[in-house]
Structure 1
Amino acid sequence: MSESSDTTSGSSDTMAEEPIKEEEKQIEEDEEWESLQSFRKLTKARVDQLNAEKSKRVVHELAKTRLSNSLIQAVALLRQRNRQGVVSSLNDLLACDKAVPSQPLSWEVPEELADLFVIYSKSDPAPEKLSRLQYLLDISDSTAEALQGTGDRGLPIGAEEEEFGCDASILLDDTSDFTGEKTAGPNNNSVRGFDVIDTVKSQVETLCPGVVSCADILALAARDSVVALGGPSWTVPLGRRDSTTASFSAANSDLPSPAMDISDLITAFSNKGFTAKEMVALSGSHSTGQARCLMFKDRIYNEANINSSFATSLKSNCPSSGGDENLSPLDATSPVIFDNAYFKNLVNKKGLLHSDQQLFNGGSTDSQVTTYSTNPAVFYADFASAMVKMGNLSPLTGSNGQIRTSCRKIN
């Protein structure tokens, strides 16, 4: 009986210990699992970061390589046509398809080139909206910062330049003979990315010196940046030449101001040969880009034709006193996508700049804004057409101007 009792007692102790050990084991396994999961998350985050950085570098290098290859093809085409005597003006270039049917004028710069030129927002849209654009737009912090272009008008640097007549005058630094356009009111702390243009131009000159102008590079930049952001494409005729001077005063007087009313906007564009409809279409470039607090502060604090919730959302980043250089996207709905959301915002009284909302404020352009807000295809077609017209605005051709060796200075 005694042995049986001892045996029973030992079994009871063992059975009592087993649940405790099992519980301790489970706790250890749970802690180990949590640690493993945390490690996996950290590892995955680091791997994703490294992969993203590598992808950005690869895309950047690919863009430069493919740009060089495309320019070589374009140069060969232009040289052949010059030898045949069919390229002496922009009009000749436009007619070259008929003159040399086996050598079409249109040539496409690879889409990856857009990473060198686009203006983008540093806001944090949903990752699914960025998809592959993140690799194109966010090449590196330094490049991103350089190309961010506060805009106040939202145009890529190439499109900004086209407002002057497509002669690359905006790229010229100040000299003892003239004050350049970079520090003019509409451009100062607004248009950026000059160093990137310098890099591209330097590579082009190494491959084919004295052939491709800075003006042509800028015109292509305007088109390709829009395409990369999901917008329309258009044919960019080549053959522009670069100016040999710049005008600080013209830059201040010719570019539309964010404070303009609708009548002033129509007049400003009319002076350059554009209709009110074309002006509205070109304003759609504000689908991307950013503006400084200084340029919309009065609107969000003092104007009545603004959505109250929209105004309130902007005030934290644009206080009534100070913060003048703080940035906000011109189109908060889809800041890195070229679409018709800009016009939808205007209909809802969510235009960032005074000049933006003037396009939909009970005036003659209201109907055009409404059309674009509901029909993106019409907007795309009109925008592309207006950009072609802008690209043909007083270009230097033939023996006028020069092909600069450096975009920053005349030869």
Structure 2
Amino acid sequence: MSVEDMVVLSGSHTIGRSLCASFLAMNRRRLANGTISAAYQALLEALCPPSPGQFDPNTTEIDVSTPAVLDNNYYKLLPLNLGLHFSDDQLIRNATLAPFANAFAANETLWKQKFTAAMIKMGNIEVRTGTTDEIRLNCSVVNPSSSSSAAGVIEMLFPADEVATS
């Protein structure tokens, strides 16, 4: 996948929700350095009340203005400091990525054409298997070394005795 493909696919954030726990702490740091709107951060804090217990089930829309529409508005929000995730914000802060984000903000048809092609390209990626690959238990964390192989992770998720009885 190319850099452009990754910027294109980030546009899928125009639809969907995100767990509050996945962005709130980072966004507090972004607020301190001015890369997220103060009003937007206040809204997020109000929409994401602290949850008792270990798992915080609170979520919010990723695209604050058109959360149920597949459009290029996600890219238009970024220069306004309304990107929910740090990775969204980087699309306009990084000199390599910004021209793509700006082009997609300016031309929805271009983005939709590129999005279709990138989704097909991503769909053609072969499934990774073997001991050099990893199916992560948490996508943002490398598995412990004792479960670094895909087989080990699958065994952890589906123990042999459980599979045999299914």
TM-score norm. by structure 2 comes to: 0.69
Cα distance in 1 between the residues matched to 2:113 and 2:19: 30
Residue number in structure 2 paired with 1:288: 15
Question: Contact 2:51/2:58 (CA < 8 Å) preserved in 1?
Answer: no
Aligned amino acid, residue 109 of structure 2: A
Question: Contact 1:288/1:335 (CA < 8 Å) preserved in 2?
Answer: yes
Cα distance in 2 between the residues matched to 1:380 and 1:353: 22
Aligned amino acid, residue 63 of structure 2: D
- 1:317 and 2:44 are equivalent in the alignment: no
Aligned amino acid, residue 353 of structure 1: H
Cα distance in 2 between the residues matched to 1:390 and 1:351: 24
Structure 1 or 2, whichever has the larger Rg, is 1
Residue number in structure 2 paired with 1:152: none
Residue number in structure 2 paired with 1:379: 111
Residue number in structure 1 paired with 2:64: 332
- 1:391 and 2:140 are equivalent in the alignment: no
Q: Percent identity?
A: 29
Structure 1 residue 361: Cα displacement: 1.3
Question: Contact 1:346/1:357 (CA < 8 Å) preserved in 2?
Answer: yes
Cα distance in 2 between the residues matched to 1:300 and 1:384: 30
Structure 1 residue 312: Cα displacement: 1.2
1:24-63 correspondence runs (5 A)? none
SS in 1 for 2:18: strand
Structure 1 residue 358: Cα displacement: 1.3
Residue number in structure 1 paired with 2:85: 353
Aligned amino acid, residue 384 of structure 1: T
Higher relative contact order (CA 8 A, sep 6+): 2
Cα distance in 1 between the residues matched to 2:87 and 2:79: 14
1:300-343 Cα shifts (integer Å, max 9, x gaps): 32213001111111111224x54732111011111111100111
Structure 1 residue 354: Cα displacement: 1.2
1:122-176 Cα shifts (integer Å, max 9, x gaps): xxxxxxxxxxxxxxxxxxxxxxxxxxxxxxxxxxxxxxxxxxxxxxxxxxxxxxx
SS in 1 for 2:47: coil
Cα distance in 2 between the residues matched to 1:322 and 1:363: 38
Structure 1 residue 395: Cα displacement: 5.9
SS in 2 for 1:363: coil
Cα distance in 2 between the residues matched to 1:318 and 1:394: 37
Aligned amino acid, residue 44 of structure 2: L
Cα distance in 1 between the residues matched to 2:12 and 2:47: 23
Segments of 5+ residues of structure 2 without an aligned counterpart are 129-157
Question: Contact 1:347/1:369 (CA < 8 Å) preserved in 2?
Answer: no
Aligned amino acid, residue 36 of structure 2: I
Residue of 338, 362, 366 corresponding to 2:98: 366
Structure 1 residue 362: Cα displacement: 3.9
Residue number in structure 1 paired with 2:2: 275
Aligned amino acid, residue 29 of structure 2: N
Cα distance in 1 between the residues matched to 2:48 and 2:24: 7
Following TM superposition, the consecutive aligned residue runs of length 4 or more in structure 1 with deviations greater than 4 angstroms are 408-411
Segments of 5+ residues of structure 1 without an aligned counterpart are 1-273, 397-407
Question: Contact 2:14/2:66 (CA < 8 Å) preserved in 1?
Answer: yes
Aligned amino acid, residue 18 of structure 2: A
Aligned length: 126
Cα distance in 1 between the residues matched to 2:47 and 2:27: 11
